[in-house]
Structure 1
Amino acid sequence: MTTASGLRLAMVSRDESPRVDEARRELLEFLLREYGLTVPSYSTPDDFNPSPDEPLDLVVALGGDGTILRTCRQLGQHQRPMLGVNLGRLGFLADLSPTEFCERFPRFVAREYQVVHHLMYSCRWQNRAGQEETWLGLNEVAVLAGAALCLLRIQLEIDGERVTQYSCDGLIVSTPVGSTAHSLAAGGPILRQDLSAFVITPICPHTLTNRPVVDRADSVYRLTVPDAPPGTMLVVDGQIKHPLEPGDVVEIRQAPVTFQLARLKDHSYYTTLRRKLGWSGQPLYGGQGAE
């Protein structure tokens, strides 16, 4: 039996559904049988609360990109290197299948991986009464019309300077990691995941000159909706939803911690983009050379 000397792991699952539970059991049995590793396992990200001084080389997130987002937020100010194992469609972060995880695990044992640090953000909400709440996130902050089902007028300030007032169905402030999520669907650009920047993307802007804007990560972004209709919603990473009222202020800034993603050294971000987005290089229809 090969022993994975010194490699310290924990496994966090998306949920306790039969499909996820079976995949977790098979991976745990593989790690014990082939490498002599007894790995602590957690049924959901909410159950995962390691102490700040607990040594962990890798946190294996079993489920998909959403599982990584939840686990990342759960770790708070004490981020650990994470490795995503996808149980559904190919993810941008969780891009290994269970089979690929088993095939490539010897390379992780041999420390043939690198830990890449990615921008995270801190989102602070405050109302007129002085109540406030702060969330840590990885993908994006969105202000959405939600149940209001009407046009929003969202004011944007960057570092205290008024930028513009958007007339739109919503506004997204995204990290590079989140640029391939909601922001991309709304027409925003794809940013390399290791860039230090935010992208501001309006959703269905009612002025054609309102285009996505890319700006510095060390700036402070302030959003207000002065006449927010009932149903207006603040959404953090697509998972936390908080109602917005007139006079509420949303501030987004670079977090003091980074998301740590474990990647094999020959990993290619553009290979993931080609696989995920169907960038095959072949014409989709008609034209010379089409098959």
Structure 2
Amino acid sequence: MSAAPAAPPPASAEGRGLLLTPPRSRPAWRLVPARVAAMCVVELQKLRHDRTELYTRAIQPALWLVIFGETFNRINVIPTGGIPYRDYLAPGIIAQSTMFIAIFYGIHIIWERDSGVLTKLLVTPTPRAALVAGKAFAAGVKAIVQAMVVLVIAALLGVTLSWNPLRLLGMIVVVVLGSAFFACLSVTIAGIARTRDRLMGIGQAITMPLFFASNALYPTASMPDWLRVISAINPLSYEVDALRGLLLGTPANLPLDFAVLVVAAALGITAASALLGRLAR
């Protein structure tokens, strides 16, 4: 006759206390950054499985630098302060290419809404601002990869750039902040449009005006007065100004540029968070 199985040892008082007492909640100043980082990692996992977007996105900036930059570098009709136009154009193309990646980021949000992922995310304890910020800064990290591709192309074309590590770090911060703003703008538009077709139409309608109403292709001094006003409120202008100052060493108001980009990213996260629930309905 087999012996009866031995009874499990009684749980100690300390063990029972761990089971009955809920873990202490982390303060918001630790919880929100952790959730932002987690959402950012989730978004970047998608990039590991499909890098096609990065390769195809590198074609357009290469064409701008090779065709547009080389042509206008020869005819020398745009005042650039004594630097070759190809060099003057390179930071503008970095800003343009990263903006074009971020401005259609709302399509991912709509896809997540259609597949039910967004509804599951919204019922988690993660604040909506943390969800939006995680996705926005993930777009910024993707933009860093794109910016590095443009830097390599520019270097191969003979563009004179600064390779100072501190200046490159500043460039990364500028690209992340600028891309975060445009990604949040895309999510805000998605919350209003609520369909991919409408978002694509609005995105295509505003990308080129944002690009041409900035100092990416020409200095603001060459613009008519009404276009200067638009350029002054266009965050892309401040991103390009900061990139030129960091990469080319041209005169730039870096404190103002960084301040505008930080405020723009914060306002973008706030607006996108407010409309995220409307998108999920």
Bin for the TM-score computed over the shorter chain: under 0.3
Q: Which structure shows the higher helix fraction?
A: 2
Q: Which structure shows the higher strand fraction?
A: 1
The two structures have a TM-score, normalised by structure 1, of: 0.24
The two structures have a TM-score, normalised by structure 2, of: 0.25
